[in-house]
Structure 1
Amino acid sequence: MLAKFKSSASYKTFRKWNKSLRRRFDLLSYRGSSCRCPVCLTRLRAFKAARGGFPDELERYGFYPASAFETFNLEAVSCPACDATDRERLTALYLAEAFRAFDPGRRYRLIEFGPGAGLLTLFKRYPFIDYRSADLYRADVHDTVDITDMRIYADRSVDVFLCSHVLEHVSDDRRAMRELHRILKAGGFGVVLVPLVSGVEETHEDPAIDTPALRWKHYGLDDHVRQYGKRDFVDRLTGAGFTVDQLGIEHFGRAAFKEAGITEKSVLYVVRRSGG
């Protein structure tokens, strides 16, 4: 009976409401002026730090420490107002910049694969964005789609796509990258992020690593199928037909990173069709 209730829509709605209420109370202690979330634009004294959970599991299984990730801020992992993670805030910095060049008189189709909750707040400020969420397994998305076979989307039909921390779950990631390239319009762009460890250049993947414990140990999570290396990740994207811009602190500026709670080594990978 209890299990059935916990899987019901009513329980999920209650959980969402309860989380929102607790966030409002917690937010009072984070109010300030030294930081600002680029997603919800809330002024804060600090972002929420990561405590226990994922960092502890990495240590327990002998993976790299959480501080080794290229884009992950242990001390500012989420916004206390909207829950946007540091990688969502990094994405938001770029989207705000890119959207300034958009024509407000036309509509732009944006698809977010494996969507998080954070960026929805940002999209509501841009009425020219036609937002759709997509995932293979989740029920709370607009489109149920296998990222390796997206025949529901026509060739060159998407202006912007976001694919953050999705490809490390996909067995045939090269096919997924080719599909992302196929659906992207000339002149459009995508944001692609995967968990990268600083200093690791080559991808590690082995079919024999097939248990939750082994995947934690070698890939940093029990449902990942590889640990990408930076050089190889970029090579796979270019092999699918993309040009790749790696945007870091040199692009956004030290002050913007500090205000948004983003580590100085963080990098955003923005892709476009080669040759337009």
Structure 2
Amino acid sequence: MKTIFKAILNFIPRPLLIRLSYIIRPILAIFLKGKTYTDPIDGRSFKTFLPYGYGIQRENVLSPSTLSLERHRLLWLYLKNKTNFFNDNLKVLHFAPEQAFYKRFRKLKNLGYITTDLNSPLADVKADICNLPFSDNSFDVILCNHVLEHIQDDTKAMQELYRVMKPGGWGIFQIPLDLKREKTFEDNSIIDKSERTKIFGQYDHVRIYGRDYFDKLRRIGFQVNEVDYTSTLTKDEIEKYCLIKGEIIPLVTK
């Protein structure tokens, strides 16, 4: 299983993976049904989750039903329990929409929900994050998760995110974050895909973010709250939902 998943992740283009997953997902959910782990996004339980990872694979992290990873389940719990996302009338911009969320967010009648990306088949608007086709102060909420590590000019991307967010608006900008690293590392001379996977953790990542990520967002103009939502959960809940203890949710406001 582990070898098969590694081959699929590394050799099948992501847009095609998204389409194929709609066929494979129901089969996996039935095959792995159990009571050990629960996906809070749809409430379904399984005897195990699936492995996932481009370089070093992480075991027991990918939900068979929603295809959510640890960060998606953490974000769902936070949005559900600590924000107005599911209740208030909000205009939302969602970058590179994740399958775990896409249809669920689309169905929420309180949201004016717009998705955007350059390549995703789930995007309403095909757009470059560094040159967005939206007016200033357009969105109450922006979700931009595990996107910025792919962008060469992340400063420009952050400036665009700030520009299109309404004053008083908020967003969540998750990234792969190495909390042990003070400074972000990037090296544009590394172009080999296997070398990028080895150094950055994924072949299409261009940097490893350190704790200075939060200060960079602050320099753009955002107020930043480094939220450790797992600190409010029990050990049993963290294990049940297969979360990463101590994972930080970057909550930004304008």
- Counterpart of 1:87 in structure 2 is 71
Equivalent pair of 2:115/2:125 in contact (CA under 8 Å) = yes
Q: CA deviation digits over 1:206-262, x for unaligned, max 9?
A: 232233243223222222221111x21111111111122222222445444333210
Answering whether residue 59 of structure 2 is matched by residue 75 of structure 1, we say yes
How far did residue 168 of structure 1 move? 1.1
Equivalent pair of 2:144/2:173 in contact (CA under 8 Å) = yes
Q: Distance in 2 between matches of 1:20 and 1:140?
A: 13
- Counterpart of 2:217 in structure 1 is 237
Q: In the superposition, relative to structure 1, how do residues 121 and 258 fare at CA in structure 2: closer, same or farther (>3 Å)?
A: farther
- Counterpart of 2:98 in structure 1 is 116
The alignment yields a C-alpha RMSD, in angstroms, of: 2.6
Letter of the structure 2 residue corresponding to residue 220 of structure 1: G
Unaligned ranges ≥5, structure 1: 1-11, 59-65, 67-73
Q: Distance in 1 between matches of 2:122 and 2:246?
A: 33
Q: CA deviation digits over 1:21-68, x for unaligned, max 9?
A: 543233234333443322222233443233xx62xx34xxxxxxx6xx
Please tell me whether Structure 1 or Structure 2 has the larger radius of gyration of its CA atoms.
1
Q: CA deviation digits over 1:126-155, x for unaligned, max 9?
A: 3211221111234541011111121x2122
Answering whether residue 157 of structure 2 is matched by residue 142 of structure 1, we say no
Answering whether residue 227 of structure 2 is matched by residue 247 of structure 1, we say yes
Q: Distance in 2 between matches of 1:272 and 1:89?
A: 22
- Counterpart of 1:40 in structure 2 is 42
Larger RCO of the pair (alpha carbons < 8 Å, separation 6+): 1
Q: Distance in 2 between matches of 1:221 and 1:257?
A: 25
Q: In the superposition, relative to structure 1, how do residues 269 and 255 fare at CA in structure 2: closer, same or farther (>3 Å)?
A: farther
Q: Distance in 1 between matches of 2:113 and 2:209?
A: 29
Q: Distance in 1 between matches of 2:87 and 2:28?
A: 38
Q: Distance in 2 between matches of 1:139 and 1:20?
A: 13
Letter of the structure 1 residue corresponding to residue 170 of structure 2: F
Q: Distance in 2 between matches of 1:121 and 1:252?
A: 27
Comparing 36-45 with 168-177, which one deviates more in the overlay? 36-45
Equivalent pair of 1:212/1:223 in contact (CA under 8 Å) = yes
Comparing 244-253 with 86-95, which one deviates more in the overlay? 244-253
Unaligned ranges ≥5, structure 2: 1-15
How far did residue 88 of structure 1 move? 1.1
- Counterpart of 2:151 in structure 1 is 170
- Counterpart of 1:63 in structure 2 is none
Q: CA deviation digits over 1:85-136, x for unaligned, max 9?
A: 22111111111124557655xx311111122211124325632112211112
Q: In the superposition, relative to structure 1, how do residues 36 and 147 fare at CA in structure 2: closer, same or farther (>3 Å)?
A: same
- The percent of aligned pairs where both chains have the same amino acid is 29
Q: Distance in 1 between matches of 2:73 and 2:103?
A: 11
- Counterpart of 1:158 in structure 2 is 139
